[in-house]
Amino acid sequence: MPQDVHFDFSAALLLLTLATGLVAALERFVLRPRRQEGGAPPFGVETSVSFFPVLLFVLLLRSFIVEPFRIPSGSMLPTLEVGDFILVNKFAYGLKMPALHTTLLPLGEPERGDIAVFRFPHDPSKDFIKRVVGLPGDTLLYRDKTLYINGKAVPQEAIGPYVVDFGGRSRVFERRLEALPERPHEVLIGSPRAGRSLQVQVPEGSYFVMGDNRDGSDDSRRWGFVPERALVGRAFMIWMSWNPSLGRPDWARIGRQIP
């Protein structure tokens, strides 16, 4: 993406859950025993008691299990389209403390080819989604639209054109199958020009990410590596897709697994 976020929703949800939980505890152990039998609690207290279990459930679900995200840009075309709503596995890269983002229990690490959601290293209030192409210790070279990993070129095969509608204006991209051994996937090439070559070595505790729309993605080629602490989770399914040009859901994409 990026997904424009103007406040930390995780922190707000955590604070609201703690606040309603505190009020619920006070009602249970302090206020209720002091009230006359049959007396009703104040409206604010009753509301907090009612909302606390709901907020706690939502907090646990989106913090440790799964969280939905929306795709607002075309940086991951053709894999993810504008209007896709995806689900992200929050425990794929370890259980993390809500809001603080510190790892509580390491359960796994990104694999090459994963589509990962992470907090943008230069502005943690924004969530980005890209494909992991470089693991710690890898030497990467991107030259003439081809990715080289540890000295070996990742094979590509042209599989036809791909037309993108930009608000009534169409643009034709070249669609290629990039045969990444761990996870083959499609990429888009938008310009025949070779562009600038880039060679880097991925440091320990960091990852190199790229968008599948290779000529239309703001990624590690420009702003650097993604540290492990910034990882949010692994995208695994499109649960909803809205086609903005048609003004209706794209039924064919709903329920699709993300390669």
Contact 42, 31 (CB under 8 A): no
Number of neighbours of residue 28 by Cβ within 10 angstroms? 11
Please give the torsion angle defined by the CA atoms of residues 11, 13, 18 and 20, in that order, rounded to the nearest 10 degrees: 150
Contact 23, 48 (CB under 8 A): yes
- Catalytic residue of the set 130, 217, 220, 241: 130
Q: What is the DSSP string of 174-210?
A: EEEEE--TT--EEEEE---S----EEEEPPTTEEEEE
- Catalytic residue of the set 48, 73, 75, 217: 75
Whether residue 75 lies in the annotated active site: yes
**Going residue by residue through the chain (259 aa), what tens digit of pLDDT does each one get?**
434 333 456 677 788 989 999 999 998 888 888 876 667 888 888 898 898 988 888 777 777 789 999 999 999 999 999 999 999 999 999 888 776 677 777 889 999 999 999 999 999 889 999 999 999 999 999 999 999 999 999 999 999 999 988 777 888 999 999 999 889 999 999 987 877 899 999 999 999 999 999 999 999 999 999 999 999 999 999 999 998 878 899 999 999 999 8
Contact 188, 216 (CB under 8 A): yes
pTM value is: 0.81
Helices (H) and strands (E) in the chain, counts: 4, 17
Whether residue 48 lies in the annotated active site: no
Structure tokens at 59: 């907090």
